[in-house]
Amino acid sequence: MMLQLKHLQLQLDHAAILNNVSADINAGELVVVLGPNGAGKSSFLKVASGELSPDSGEVNYCSQPIRDWPLLAKAKQCAVLAQHQLLDFPFTASEVVALGRTPHDTGLLIDNDIIKEALNLMGVGQLRHQPYTQLSGGEKQRVQLARVLAQVWQGRCLLLLDEPTAALDFSHQQQVMTIFKRKAMAGSAVLMVLHDLNLAASFADKIILMDQGYIKAVGTPEQVLQESLLEDVFKLKFHRVVHPTSGKHLFVS
């Protein structure tokens, strides 16, 4: 178990955001958090990363309270993609990705190689000298994802990603999900918030379904993505169909 969240309670502005939330994130898993707007997904991720402190409950990273981890040590093993990226400086794409290497002392030559490889992996290597502020929304997102990967380039790690496929077209969504699936298969733990049921069904090892600050269900995609449960949470009629080649379930409304 890489990340353990136990009985989390969180209130913001006197409103209950998380209600007795517990979850285990294991090495080798890609875990997707699903739920409607306002379900508490982003707050769940912020508490998991240590950005927010819960009013009660525990967050343990590698069997140690996450608050006890020295920031530098945690930054070498845990990388976070926030939902909103506020970067208005005219850094080049390479300079943005280089921010992910800040915790490391591997030297300029090694860091430059990692930066180049991370940009190429995300399909934006040709933009490395372009000002970040002049990129499209999808290009900015892939540069930020390259930054996250560059931060934890080697070894097992914990990745916490809030809507990593936002602003991406269908092809790049598939590309990004495949990259992080492979990262999980190599022994890392990946926890991400998504809104796309079909991406979750195709790539997740485990799904956490949230609603109004509660966890409604946890399990494999086959266990959680049931029409009746989804209709109860999203207040929308869903139909489950089978993909003609993969055999995985897909959902249309």
Q: Residue 25's domain is classified under what CATH number?
A: 3.40.50.300
Q: Tell me the per-residue pLDDT of 69-103, one tens digit each, with 9 for 90 and over.
A: 999 999 999 999 998 877 888 899 999 999 999 99
* pTM of the full structure: 0.95
pLDDT of amino acid 206 = 98
Per-residue pLDDT tens over the stretch 2-44:
999 999 999 998 899 999 999 999 999 999 999 999 999 999 9
Query: Cβ–Cβ contacts within 10 Å for residue 147, how many?
Result: 25
| Model pLDDT, residue 90 | 86
- Reported as a pLDDT band with limits 50, 70 and 90, residue 248 is confident
**Could you tell me the CA-to-CA distances from 142 to 115, 125, 249 in Å, in that order?**
13, 10, 27
Residue 175 has pLDDT above 90, yes or no: yes
* Structural domain boundaries enclosing 7: 3-252
**pLDDT (mean) for 125-135:** 96
Taking a C-beta distance cutoff of 8 angstroms, is the pair 238, 231 a contact? yes
Average pLDDT over residues 209-227: 96
**Is the per-residue pLDDT at 250 higher than 90?**
no
pLDDT, position 89: 85
pLDDT of residue 244: 85
Count of structural domains, the chain: 1
SS3 category, 37: coil
- pLDDT, residue 153, reads 96
What local confidence, expressed as pLDDT, does residue 143 receive?
Answer: 97
Torsion sign over Cα 161, 162, 168, 170 = positive
